[in-house]
Amino acid sequence: MLLPELRKEVLEANLELVRRGLVLYTFGNASGISRKDGLVVIKPSGVPYGKMTPEHLVVTDLEGKTVEGTLRPSSDLPTHVLLYKVFPKIGGVVHTHSEYATAWAQARKPIPAFGTTHADYFHGPVPVTESMTKEEIASEYEKNTGNAIARVFEHIDYSAVPAVLVANHAPFVWGPDVGIAAHNAVVLEAVARMAYLTLSINEKAESIGGDLHDKHYLRKHGSSAYYGQK
């Protein structure tokens, strides 16, 4: 069996999404990539999480062609594959319909950076994609979802803002590996919820200042980080 360790990590990331209440039934999927082998491991489509084992996961190449596995891969595979191509430093991708992040996506509003919880993870607002055209929807829809995401990040650093809201759909989230991608998805949902509450309390709430935003982001990221044990 190919990539047994990556299969375990991808399965564990999928289960973390369930434990944290981010997915209802089968509405979510996580994948990981082995850059060395050019192979992606992804959740199968529509299989209940409770019965999933590493063997059920599907291995594909970077064209989305199945290399190992008898089940059909997640129907969102073409989006994952496209993100691996355009974001060369990422190692994992997660897609959920978590409720608050999805509500922001449906409202077509970026999630403002209202506080340090946001700033610890996302170095700027979490952006929303533009609408897709009729043609983009009709043909290769999932791949074009990835293209819509890629366009948003032409002017944003995808490493510093590892999430996006697909308009009228739901979030995609990534990270250096699939475990971090799932962790980021959980934090995104918490941040989306608190931003919702913040605006409800004060419709004129202002984003966190740049100095404080940088401070918190850089406490956790980069060469001067001093959060955690290393």
For the bound state, the minimum distance from the C-beta of residue 158 to its own copies, rounded and expressed in Å, comes to 22
Judged by CB, which is closer to its own copies: 27, or 153? 27
Count Cβ neighbours within 10 Å for each residue of 148-158 and write b for 16 or more, e otherwise: bbbebbeeeeb
Judged by CB, which is closer to its own copies: 36, or 51? 51
Judged by CB, which is closer to its own copies: 83, or 170? 170
What are the residues whose beta carbons fall under 8 Å from the beta carbon of 153, sequence distance 6 or more? 86, 87, 161, 164
Judged by CB, which is closer to its own copies: 9, or 16? 16
**What whole-number distance in Å separates Cα of residue 21 and Cα of residue 111?**
20
**What whole-number distance in Å separates Cα of residue 127 and Cα of residue 196?**
15
Which residues are catalytic, by number? 120, 227
For the bound state, the minimum distance from the C-beta of residue 214 to its own copies, rounded and expressed in Å, comes to 8
For the bound state, the minimum distance from the C-beta of residue 135 to its own copies, rounded and expressed in Å, comes to 9
Judged by CB, which is closer to its own copies: 8, or 120? 120
Neighbour-count burial of 201, counting CB atoms closer than 10 A to its CB (0-12 exposed, 13-18 middle, 19+ buried): exposed
Q: At what angle do helices 99-107 and 178-201 cross, to 10 degrees?
A: 60
Residues forming contacts to its own copies in the complex (CB under 8 A) are: 24-25, 27, 44-47, 71-72, 75, 97, 99-100, 102-109, 114-117, 131-132, 134, 137-138, 141, 168-170, 183, 186-187, 190, 193-202, 205-206, 208-209, 211-212, 215, 219, 226-229
For the bound state, the minimum distance from the C-beta of residue 54 to its own copies, rounded and expressed in Å, comes to 18
Nearest Cα to 145, choosing from 59, 57, 81? 81
**What whole-number distance in Å separates Cα of residue 1 and Cα of residue 120?**
38
The token pair at 49 is 């999480």
**What whole-number distance in Å separates Cα of residue 43 and Cα of residue 45?**
6
For the bound state, the minimum distance from the C-beta of residue 61 to its own copies, rounded and expressed in Å, comes to 19
